[in-house]
Structures are given as C-alpha cells and as structure tokens.
C-alpha cells in the first residue's frame, strides 16, 4: 500500500507545483511522500527478516530430516545413492525447498501488485496503458524461452557436478591405493575433464542470465515510451508533467512483479 502511495502523492505534488498560485499543501504532500517511503522500507525490511527466520527453520528441519533418514536407511539401499547425490540433497535441493517460502508468498502477492499498478496506469493515461501491456506480453515469451534454456543448462550442470563430486569422493576414500599405484595424474585428468564440462554449462547459464536481465532491464524504458507515445499521438491527449512523472513511477513499480513472476514460477516448480 505504501509503495503505491508514492506515485499518487507525486501526481498531486507535481500538479501543485504546476499551479502558479501558492499552495502550502505541497509541503504536506512532500512530507507524506517521505513518510510513505520510510514506512514502505521499514515494513519491507521487517517482512524480509521474518521470511529469512522461517527459511532458516525450514533449512534446519530439512537437513535434520535428511540426516535422520540416512541413518535409518539399510546399507543395501544406500548403495543406490552416490556421495555426490547425497551432498546435492543437503546443499542444492535444500536451497530449492527453502526458496519455496519466498516463492509461495510472491505467487499470490505479485498478481495483486500487478493489478493495482495497471489500474492506476489506466486512471492516469486511459487505454494508452494497453500499449505498455502489449510490450510486456511480447517480452514475456522471450523471457520464458531464455528461462527454459537456463533450466536445461542447470540440469546438465548438476549432472556433471554430481559426476565430479562422486569421483573426488571416491579418490579421497581410496587415497592410499591412489598414492600407492601412482594414479594421481589419472584422477587429476578425469576430475579436470569433468570440471571443464561443468564450467561449460555454468558459463552458458550465466550468459543466458545476462540476456534475461538485459531484456527486463530495458523493459521500463520500452513500456514507458509506448504508453506516452500512444497517449499523445493516438489518443490526442495533452501530456502534463504530473501524468508523465506518475506514469514513470508506476511503470517502475510494474516492472518488479513482471520481472519476478517467471522466477517465482520456476522456484515453485523446482521446490
């Protein structure tokens, strides 16, 4: 609520500044903007603190459950799991479960934020906001394609990581035999080869991450240009400073749920 109060108060404040007649209410609205920003930051930090607290409890409970299960599993069943798989259960897989806490909350809250931002944009520029929605809709499939590619790279990355950890573990467990047989160069070569394959997919994933970030970093500019162009040229409306600044503020708020929602869905699926 305090996040959306900023653009609304900004609109009123700019209208007061445009009016040549003196108006002392401008000081009140400016003060309210500062207070709303402070309260928004305060509640956001408080929410983050409690979410991290819950995440730590979930992590501790999950890791404890994994260790308890490992101690009760028969040795014959344990042979089905490599050391690398068990380490991934405790590290990567636990992280995905912990991230579910944030993803679940964002799954319902982000659409609400999106709806409020679109409604306020409609109040400011009318149907011109649909031009921005169209740009966002065009960008979503592109981002989805990049996200899917990131997921595929992550699967391959984890496969080779498992293989490398398994080989390192086996070498460490049989270190005396390795030393006695002078197999160090052999294991070093094999581990390096697996590491190279792992880094290959890690590099590809990071490049795709950069493409994804670039697409959505440029989204606010593209959306704002399309909305204001449609408002002035197509609808033949007069663009005021109050509408322009308010539109910019609302688009910046709109970008956050648009950016985060694909990652939220991905986090829920991974969990």
132-138 long-range contacts, Cβ below 8 Å, gap at least 24?
132/223, 132/224, 132/226, 132/227, 132/251, 132/254, 134/226, 135/219, 135/222, 135/223, 135/226, 136/219, 136/223, 136/254, 136/258
| Token pair recorded at residue 30 | 């400016």
pLDDT tier for residue 159 given thresholds of 50, 70 and 90: confident
The pair phi, psi for residue 28, each rounded to 5°, is -65, -45
H-helix segments, the chain: 2-18, 25-72, 75-78, 83-88, 94-125, 129-173, 175-181, 184-217, 219-229, 241-270
Per-domain boundaries in the chain: 1-270
Q: Select the more confidently predicted residue: 150 or 179.
A: 150
Q: Which CATH number fits domain 1-270: 1.20.1560.10, 3.40.30.10, 3.20.20.70, 3.40.50.10800?
A: 1.20.1560.10
Above pLDDT 90, what percent of the chain?
2
Answer left, alpha or beta for residue 259, where phi above 0 means left and psi between -120 and 50 means alpha: alpha
| Token pair recorded at residue 192 | 């390096």
Q: Is the pLDDT of residue 88 over 80?
A: no
Of 46-50, 103-107, 200-204, 257-261, which gets the smallest average pLDDT? 257-261
User: What does the pLDDT read at residue 270?
Assistant: 61
User: What does the pLDDT read at residue 269?
Assistant: 64
pLDDT tier for residue 262 given thresholds of 50, 70 and 90: low
Tell me, what DSSP letter sits at residue 240? P
Q: Is the pLDDT of residue 242 over 60?
A: yes
User: What does the pLDDT read at residue 170?
Assistant: 81
Q: What is the pTM (predicted TM-score) of this model?
A: 0.64
User: What does the pLDDT read at residue 83?
Assistant: 62
pLDDT tier for residue 81 given thresholds of 50, 70 and 90: low
| pLDDT tens digit sequence for 7-52 | 888 888 888 887 777 777 888 888 988 898 899 889 888 988 888 8
Q: Is the pLDDT of residue 67 over 60?
A: yes
């Amino acid at each position: 609520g305090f996040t959306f109060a900023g653009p609304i108060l900004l609109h009123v404040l700019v209208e007061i500044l445009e009016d040549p007649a003196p108006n002392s209410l401008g000081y009140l609205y400016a003060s309210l903007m500062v207070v709303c920003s402070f309260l928004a930051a305060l509640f956001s930090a408080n929410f983050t603190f409690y979410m991290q607290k819950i995440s730590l409890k979930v992590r501790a409970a999950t890791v404890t459950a994994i260790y308890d299960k490992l101690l009760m599993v028969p040795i014959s069943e344990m042979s089905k799991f490599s050391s690398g798989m068990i380490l991934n259960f405790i590290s990567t897989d636990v992280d995905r479960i912990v991230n579910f806490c944030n993803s679940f909350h964002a799954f319902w809250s982000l659409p609400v934020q999106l709806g409020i931002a679109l409604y306020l944009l409609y109040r400011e520029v009318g149907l011109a906001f649909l031009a921005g929605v169209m740009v966002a809709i065009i960008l979503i499939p592109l981002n989805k394609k990049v996200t899917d590619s990131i997921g595929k790279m992550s699967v391959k990355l984890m496969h080779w990581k498992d293989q490398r950890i398994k080989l390192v573990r086996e070498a460490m467990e049989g270190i005396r035999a390795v030393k006695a047989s002078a197999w160090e160069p052999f294991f070093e070569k094999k581990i390096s080869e697996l590491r190279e394959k792992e880094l290959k997919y890690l590099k590809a994933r990071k490049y795709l991450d950069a493409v994804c970030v670039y697409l959505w970093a440029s989204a606010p500019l593209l959306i704002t240009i399309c909305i204001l162009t449609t408002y002035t040229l197509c609808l033949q409306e007069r663009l005021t400073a109050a509408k322009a600044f308010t539109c910019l503020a609302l688009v910046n708020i709109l970008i956050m749920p648009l950016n985060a929602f694909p990652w939220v869905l991905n986090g829920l699926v991974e969990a």
